[in-house]
Amino acid sequence: MKQLGLLLDWKFRYTLCALLILLTPTWCNATSSAQDDAEFRFIAYGDTRGDGSESVSPLHVDIVGLYIQHDPDLIIHSGDMVNHGGESYQWPLFNDSMTAVWELGIPFYGAAGNHEVYTDVWGVSDDDYSNYLDYFDYTDVIDQPGETELHYSFDMDGIHFIILNTVEEWTYNDFTCSTAQMNWLEDDLAAGHEFIVVAFHNPAWSIRADRPERWAQAESIRNTFHSMFIDNGVDIVFNGHDHCYYRTVRDGIFYVITGGGGAPLCEIQTEDTVWQDGDVGFSDYHYCLAKVASGLLSVEVYLMNGTVADDFDLDVSAASPPPLFEGTTLIVVGTVVVIALLVIVALRRRAQ
Q: Over the stretch 212-221, which tens digit does the pLDDT of each residue have? A: 888 999 999 9
Q: Which is more confident, 339 or 237? A: 237
- Cβ atoms of 309 and 283 closer than 8 Å: no
Query: pTM, whole model, 2 decimals?
Result: 0.81
- Chain centre distance of CA 232: 16
Q: Over the stretch 94-152, which tens digit does the pLDDT of each residue have? A: 999 999 999 999 999 999 999 999 988 876 655 689 999 999 999 999 999 999 999 99
| Segment among 80-89, 157-166, 173-182, 329-338 with least mean pLDDT | 329-338
- For residue 322, pLDDT beyond 50: no
Give the mean pLDDT of 147-173: 92
Q: Over the stretch 60-77, which tens digit does the pLDDT of each residue have? A: 999 999 999 999 999 999
φ and ψ at residue 118, rounded to 5 degrees: -75, 155
Picking from 98, 53, 51, the residue whose alpha carbon sits closest to that of residue 243 is 51
φ and ψ at residue 196, rounded to 5 degrees: -125, 125
- The amino acid at 310: D
